[in-house]
């Protein structure tokens, strides 16, 4: 994660990393939801929401690897807000460091 790019929003952080050519293939995603977010039911709901959003946002030709870390504010976020912030953060994480807004 240190060599990749990252982007943050109020409810989550996305780290993007481009692997070596040998390891490239389909995009890989990891979703981290810690106990600070809530009990297991809440954490699993957020994880399922993130995975549903990622199925629509990720392109099959994108070979980057992503780590999505959800913050406690994600527990109160509506699905549409989570989708907007996750897609914006993924788009920003793909840009070079000097071009972020």
3-state secondary structure the chain: CCCCEEEECCCEEEEEECCCCCCCCCCEEEEEECCCCCCHHHHHHHHHHHHHHHHHHCCCCCCCEEEEEECHHHHCCCHHHHHHHHHHHHHHHCCCHHHCC
Q: pLDDT tens across 30-71, in order?
A: 999 999 999 999 999 999 999 999 988 887 667 788 899 999
Model confidence at 10: pLDDT above 70? yes
For residue 96, what pLDDT is reported? 54
Model confidence at 101: pLDDT above 80? no
Q: Into which CATH architecture does domain 5-94 fall? A: 2-Layer Sandwich (3.30)
Model confidence at 81: pLDDT above 50? yes
What integer is the mean pLDDT of 86-90? 91
Q: Where are the domains of the chain?
A: 5-94
């Amino acid at each position: 994660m240190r060599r990749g790019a990252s982007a943050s929003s109020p409810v989550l952080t996305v780290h993007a990393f481009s692997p070596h050519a040998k390891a490239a293939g389909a995009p890989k995603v990891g979703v981290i939801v810690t106990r600070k977010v809530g009990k297991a039911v809440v954490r699993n709901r957020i994880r399922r929401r993130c995975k549903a959003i990622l199925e629509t946002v990720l392109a099959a030709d994108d070979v980057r690897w992503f780590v999505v870390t959800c913050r406690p504010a994600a527990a109160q976020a509506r699905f549409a807000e989570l989708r907007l912030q996750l897609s914006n953060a993924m788009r920003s994480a793909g840009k070079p460091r000097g071009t972020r807004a």
